[in-house]
């Protein structure tokens, strides 16, 4: 059974299914199809399925041309019919893993996807979980559900975990050149999974699914803690009357022992704000208190309030208050050059400004509408008449915006991302 499946994978004759066609699943499905596999996307959102059927991409990193070519070549298709799982050789789960309001992991999407697989599980299949989750999920949650069918892992089917490493809008490191970490519940599961991902990138094998799950959490906890540190340094520099960007850039000239992180209005995206809490939650069940995670989370969560306070001070020097001031927010996506709004700190900043009765406007070429509380706002069509605003607040530093022109035409600019780097103007206030 193992040899037969391995041969299918190596010869590209294996039929592969990807559950969840979002920011992680769609790039993976496209890359596998490009390498010659026949790939089926399984998705509960009928709009995404229709988009694929119409040969159109709905994610910035994926070119519609690629979708069109793969669909027409019959190497990629999408469906809402999960019974299709029974005809697949490999099934990869790429569903969301949000947090509940209590900061506990919400694995309901993983459970729902696993149930669909369980209901259609066949002998000789390989199941791979990519969704970020706490160490133990694959072995303690997914495995028992699949074995409740009467089929046995490592004998009748294979199971592994491989953490997703997608960085939207990153042109340098894509799914095709970023090493994939794989860990199976047995050696055969690991080897089969390595063969799948090895078809398009380098693979690093670890000893277990738990180790692979921990890899992802370490990566993003490392980032969250270091962002928390540099955000606190920004607060320190503000008290000391220092330019934090000057200090960071000078520190970054050291070729060893320093890695550059930058402050901002908070942290966003699906990974960094959430993943450390998955680890913290798991450790609490083992009576271990993760102090670095808790502290960095606290610092990062307070950055939107700091931004609003500093903005109020900047307006005060112009004899204005936030109330009734015309404020244009530049960029609301969680990072530059993407449309992704997940956990964007811009939402928190705008919510606080709205509560203080600012006359709020925003411009983002990637995001047409945004909801602040119960209010739905539309992006300004252009930013030609920039002088009519009391302040321009840069929350996301999209590269398509001419910041020198913004500074030239604005009354006041509050730059939280150092988009105005090297510009010297009394109009500019930085975080």
Q: Which residues are catalytic?
A: 271
Per DSSP, which regions of 292-363 are E strands? Answer: 326-330, 359-363
Residue 313, helix vs strand vs coil: helix
Q: Count other C-beta atoms under 10 Å from residue 95's C-beta.
A: 23
Write the CA distances from 290 to 226, 258, 285, integer angstroms. Answer: 15, 24, 12
What are the beta bridge partners of residue 160? Answer: 128, 184
Q: Residue 163 corresponds to which tokens in the numbers above?
A: 């953490």
Tell me if residue 26 falls in helix, strand or coil.
helix
Structure tokens at 79: 């469906």
Q: Which SS3 state, helix, strand or coil, does residue 183 take? A: strand
Q: Where are the alpha helices (DSSP H) in 153-273?
A: 187-197, 209-240, 244-251
- Determine the angle formed by the axes of helices 25-34 and 64-72, rounding to 10 degrees: 50
How far is the C-alpha of 285 from the C-alpha of 415, rounded, in Å? 41
Q: Is 376 helix (H, G, I), strand (E, B) or coil?
A: strand
Count of beta carbons in the 10 Å neighbourhood of residue 12: 14
Strand partners, 76: 39
**Nearest-5° Cα angle at 417, 413 to 418:** 70
Q: What six digits make up the tokens of 272? A: 């960094």
Using an 8 Å Cβ cutoff, are 38 and 75 in contact? yes
Structure tokens at 193: 């999974």
Estimate the share of the chain in helix, then strand, then coil, as percent rounded to the nearest 5: 40, 15, 45
SS3 label, residue 141: helix
Looking at the chain, the number of H-run helices and the number of E-run strands are 14, 15
Place of tokens 């969704």: 131
C-alpha dihedral sign at 407, 410, 411, 416? negative
Tell me which residue has tokens 């600012």.
358
CA distance 361 to 96: 31
**CA angle at 254 for the pair 251 and 257, rounded to the nearest 5°:** 95
């Amino acid at each position: 059974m193992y040899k037969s499946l391995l041969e299918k994978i190596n010869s590209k004759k294996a039929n592969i299914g990807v559950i969840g066609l979002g920011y992680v699943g769609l790039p993976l499905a496209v890359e596998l199809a490009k390498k010659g596999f026949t790939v089926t996307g399984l998705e509960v959102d009928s709009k995404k399925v229709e988009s694929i059927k119409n040969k159109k991409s709905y994610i910035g990193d994926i070119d519609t041309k690629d979708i069109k070519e793969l669909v027409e070549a019959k190497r990629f298709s999408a469906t809402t019919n999960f019974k299709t799982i029974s005809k697949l050789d490999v099934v990869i789960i790429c569903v969301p893993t949000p947090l509940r309001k209590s900061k506990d992991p919400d694995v309901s999407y993983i459970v729902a996807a696993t149930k669909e697989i369980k209901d259609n599980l066949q002998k000789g299949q390989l199941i791979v979980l990519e969704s970020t989750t706490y160490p133990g999920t694959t072995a303690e949650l997914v495995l028992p559900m699949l074995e409740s069918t009467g089929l046995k892992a490592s004998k009748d089917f294979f199971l592994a975990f491989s953490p997703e490493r997608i960085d939207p809008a990153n042109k340098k490191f894509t799914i095709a050149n970023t090493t994939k970490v794989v860990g199976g519940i047995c050696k055969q599961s690991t080897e089969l999974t390595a063969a799948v991902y090895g078809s398009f990138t380098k693979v690093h094998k670890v000893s277990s699914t738990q180790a692979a799950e921990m890899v992802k959490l370490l990566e993003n906890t490392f980032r969250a803690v270091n962002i928390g540190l540099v955000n606190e340094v920004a607060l320190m520099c503000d008290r000391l009357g220092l330019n934090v960007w000057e200090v960071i850039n000078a520190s970054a000239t050291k070729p060893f022992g320093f890695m550059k992180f930058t402050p901002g209005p908070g942290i966003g995206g699906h990974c960094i704000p959430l993943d450390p809490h998955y680890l913290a939650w798991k450790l609490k069940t083992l009576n271990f208190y993760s102090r670095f995670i808790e502290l960095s989370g606290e610092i990062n969560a307070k950055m939107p309030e700091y931004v609003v306070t500093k903005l109020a001070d900047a307006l005060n020097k112009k004899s204005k208050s936030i109330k009734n001031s015309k404020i244009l927010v530049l960029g609301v996506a969680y990072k530059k050059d993407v449309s992704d709004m997940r956990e964007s700190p811009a939402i928190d900043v705008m919510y606080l400004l709205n509560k203080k009765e600012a006359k709020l406007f925003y411009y983002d070429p990637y995001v047409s509408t945004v909801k602040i509380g119960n209010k739905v706002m539309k992006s300004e069509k252009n930013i030609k008449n920039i002088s009519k605003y009391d302040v321009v607040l840069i929350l996301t530093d999209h590269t398509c915006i001419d910041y020198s022109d913004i500074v030239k035409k604005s009354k006041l600019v509050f730059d939280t991302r150092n988009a105005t780097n090297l510009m010297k103007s009394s109009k500019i206030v930085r975080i």
